[in-house]
Chains A and B, each alone.
Chain A
Amino acid sequence: MLEWIQRGLSQGKVTTRYPRGPEPAPDGYHGSIELLNAKDAPPTLEDVCPTRAITVDVQQRVKLDRGRCILCGECVRRAPERFAFRADYETAARSRSALVLGDWENEQVEPVRQALGEQARMLRRSIHVRHIDCGSDGSEEWEIQALWNPYYDIQRLGFFLTNSPRHADILLVTGGVTSPMRKPLERTWNLMPDPKALVAVGTDACSGGLATEGGKVAGGVDQVLPVDVYVPGSPPAPIAIIHALLLATGRLTPGEVAA
């Protein structure tokens, strides 16, 4: 056992400083899609997206819904003058409409949940997290598990994993909610004491992603329960999920980037 302790110490510290310092994504990382030009788009532009994340209105303006985007890059390849990959991690938002780029009417009126801010003060730095899978592809689970590895070590920020919904403050939900998982999801949420927050992790949880059209999934967690923070991504990277947890507890505000 002593040898293991030596082995652990010999590695040195690998833990990220995030959010006390920035953790930039590597060059070329496919973190999100940027909308470079929203004007004068042909209606056929909608067809490049397999999850209908791109819409063109009657004034030929483009909207890009990151909550539906699976980052497949078809739009970047077929319309490089309008879309580009961006190497960023901090993509989470506190409302579904805030994930829609080019949505001029809704952008300013993002509802800041008053209760959530108060919750965050009450929860302080001992926040217990529970996870439930409602039909993910399995990759989101890996990225949530990674939060407890030495690189991300989320316990240093006061987040702990709990196995009981009775002890949980935050519920992380993955997947677009398949029908057999609807009841277990509702029961888990109802067993959690107030105040509590729900984080939809991944594009599938935000909107159902690719699976929506088959009719086997509800099309996002918010079809079943109110969602406090949405993290798009297929899957979102661990830093993106940390960002979402900080948003959910009011320790970061939308648009605020780690110093």
Chain B
Amino acid sequence: MSFAQQSLKAPGYPPEQLGATREPGPAGEVRLAVKAAAFAAGARVMQEAGARFATMFLADRPERSLIAAFALRGELVLLRAPAGGESAVFESIGAWWPAARWAERELSELHGVRFSGHEYPGRLTAPDADLLDRHVSGLDVFSIPYGPVRSGIFEAIQFYIESGGEDVLRIQTRPFFKHRGMEARFAGLTPDVAVHVAERVAGIASCAYASAFSQAVERALGMQVPQRAERWRAVYCELERMACHLDVIAKEAEAAALSVGQARFQILKEQVMRLRSRLTGNRFGRGAILPGGVRGEGMMDLDELLRAVDNIERQLLRDRRMFLGTASMTDRLIGSGRLPRKLVEDYGAVGPVARGSGLSTDARHERPYGNYKRLGLQVVSERDGDSMARVMVRFGELSESLRILRQTIDQLRRRDGELQAPLPALGDGAAFGWVEAPQGELLIWVELRDGRLHNVHIASPSLRNWALFDRAFPKDVLTDFAFIEHSFGLTPAEADR
């Protein structure tokens, strides 16, 4: 019996006092139902038990409900309260748990859920590029609305910076310039078609999205996926992690005007992109993963793939040594954008941002899925909490990805097997699927009715980490901005959806 189950079953423990009832759910999910009035108290219990707030959303199963999900010791705890009827007002959780704030704002602005007890400034989901919103006063203080049209080739997002000339006095992230309504786009599609939508929620993490979505469907329908399919998924997802991490490091080198370093990491990234193109026919691995398994064998000889992986590792070791030995590079990273561990915990951050501040949260380790159940995973964590720590986490994970790739390719070489399990045509069910995307833990909730998607919620790592960005400039100046932004390594597409 896990910790979560034990503590939640202990006599007199608050969920029982709150009248929480346990509902059936797939393995790894603890589902609790409470009355709307006890919802916030239930969340408080989770906080006290040491849970990480993951997401909050409206579900339609078994009835119109508000669900909050928490990661607690190897399980996902779902707290559900009915949200039907006009009278449902929830006590704000964001009032005392920063991690819940953006979720509450999104729910109240886009879905009309009412929260009491906390006032939010302005609208998060309807950004206005021209809005001046000064909070810091002083003779020489000026504001810079940076974005949504950025300098360079970047996705649209705005950072409203207030500065006294050098020091960043206050920064406010304004997402949702790119809100495309992707969650609603799933409705009515069959899972095999809907996976194309999932892949396009975050283009740079298509394999992570396809995997998380597929696993959610498979868990909702109680399906098993062939082992060989899980292995190919791990290959695609680790290559994707490598491309994303190499991209971050190349951009850090660019910010420091380290041209050859930038070129070197771009070369490595392009090599990974070309590997993916040869394996799957798409440079982002799209179309390779689908609910029930994978589309087919990778289109490359496994020995050749292994040689390519070895070759990338040889180059990477040398480039990494040189990157870390270049003082003009590391000086910009060390000490900038320092995030204390407590702050990261309060905001429920995930991925390299959390692991750079001493946390060891990694979905592959916390709730192992797919091939990661059969692979030992070394979670890479750094203590310093600065941009350097987040870059070091990525360097460590590049090595770990290469090791996982080699081990998985070896497994693929040794045994043949099925690649797809058939999906029941008229399946019903609801479940979460999760993966550790390159940006952090990704959760996708799916509800299926008669074999078609009914309701989908995406808890993206970027949205959950971005709220923390506003706090990442404790002693930093304007010229640190690029270094800190890249060290977060986030993508607005998935935050805005």
Is the Cβ of A211 less than 8 Å from the Cβ of B318? no
Residue from B177, B203, B319 within 8 A of A140 (CB atoms): B203
| B9-17, B91-99, B125-133: which lies at the interface | B125-133
Which chain A residues (206-246) contact chain B, with CB distance < 8 Å? 209-211, 213-217, 234-235, 237
Question: Would you call B153 an interface residue if the criterion is a C-beta within 8 Å of the partner chain's C-beta atoms?
Answer: yes
Residues of B whose CB lies within 8 Å of any CB of A are: 126-129, 148-156, 176-182, 184-185, 189, 193, 196-197, 200-204, 206, 247, 258, 260-261, 263-264, 266-267, 269-270, 273-274, 277-278, 281-284, 286-287, 299, 318-319, 322, 326, 491-494
| A54-62, A65-73, A106-114, A115-123: which lies at the interface | A65-73
- A144 to B203, alpha carbons, bound, how many Å? 13
Is the Cβ of B153 less than 8 Å from the Cβ of A184? no
Is the Cβ of B179 less than 8 Å from the Cβ of A29? no
Residue from A27, A74, A184, A235 within 8 A of B284 (CB atoms): A235
**Chain A residues near B284 (CB-CB < 8 A):** 139, 235
Question: Would you call A183 an interface residue if the criterion is a C-beta within 8 Å of the partner chain's C-beta atoms?
Answer: yes
Residue from B126, B155, B266 within 8 A of A136 (CB atoms): B155
**Chain B residues near A74 (CB-CB < 8 A):** 193, 196
Is the Cβ of A211 less than 8 Å from the Cβ of B182? yes
- A194 to B286, alpha carbons, bound, how many Å? 39
- Known interface pairs A135-B178, A178-B179. Does A149 touch B266 (Cβ–Cβ under 8 Å)? yes
Is the Cβ of A139 less than 8 Å from the Cβ of B149? no
Residue from B129, B178, B196, B270 within 8 A of A50 (CB atoms): B196
> Interface of chain B, helix or strand or loop or mixed?
loop
Question: Which of B152, B200, B261 has most A Cβ within 10 Å?
Answer: B200
- A72 to B185, alpha carbons, bound, how many Å? 16
Residues of A whose CB lies within 8 Å of any CB of B are: 1, 3-5, 7-8, 11, 14, 26-30, 50, 70-74, 85, 131-146, 149-151, 161, 163, 165, 175-176, 178, 180-181, 183-184, 188, 209-211, 213-217, 234-235, 237
Residue from B185, B277, B281, B322 within 8 A of A211 (CB atoms): B185
In the complex, which residue of chain B has the Cβ closest to the Cβ of A185? B149
* 28 A-B pairs whose Cβ atoms sit less than 8 Å apart in the complex: A4-B258, A4-B326, A7-B260, A7-B319, A8-B264, A11-B264, A26-B277, A29-B282, A132-B156, A136-B203, A138-B492, A138-B494, A139-B206, A140-B203, A141-B154, A141-B155, A149-B263, A149-B270, A150-B267, A151-B267, A180-B128, A180-B129, A180-B148, A180-B176, A213-B185, A216-B180, A235-B203, A235-B283
Is the Cβ of A4 less than 8 Å from the Cβ of B261? yes
In the complex, which residue of chain A has the Cβ closest to the Cβ of B130? A183
**Chain A residues near B326 (CB-CB < 8 A):** 1, 4
Is the Cβ of B204 less than 8 Å from the Cβ of A139? yes
- A237 to B281, alpha carbons, bound, how many Å? 11
Residue from A161, A180, A237 within 8 A of B127 (CB atoms): A180
- A70 to B51, alpha carbons, bound, how many Å? 40
- A27 to B280, alpha carbons, bound, how many Å? 10
**Chain A residues near B177 (CB-CB < 8 A):** 135, 178, 180-181
Is the Cβ of B197 less than 8 Å from the Cβ of A142? no
Is the Cβ of A149 less than 8 Å from the Cβ of B153? no
Which 5 residue pairs spanning A and B have beta carbons closest together? A139-B203, A214-B181, A137-B203, A163-B151, A149-B266
**Chain B residues near A211 (CB-CB < 8 A):** 180-182, 185, 200
- A180 to B274, alpha carbons, bound, how many Å? 35
- A14 to B269, alpha carbons, bound, how many Å? 13
Is the Cβ of B128 less than 8 Å from the Cβ of A144? no
**Chain A residues near B278 (CB-CB < 8 A):** 26, 28
Please give 19 more A-B residue pairs, beta carbons under 8 A apart, in addition to A175-B178, A188-B149.
Answer: A3-B322, A7-B322, A29-B277, A30-B287, A131-B153, A133-B148, A139-B204, A139-B206, A146-B270, A149-B267, A150-B263, A150-B267, A176-B180, A178-B179, A184-B148, A184-B156, A211-B185, A216-B179, A237-B277
- A234 to B281, alpha carbons, bound, how many Å? 12
**Chain B residues near A131 (CB-CB < 8 A):** 152-153
Residue from A4, A145, A183, A213 within 8 A of B322 (CB atoms): A4
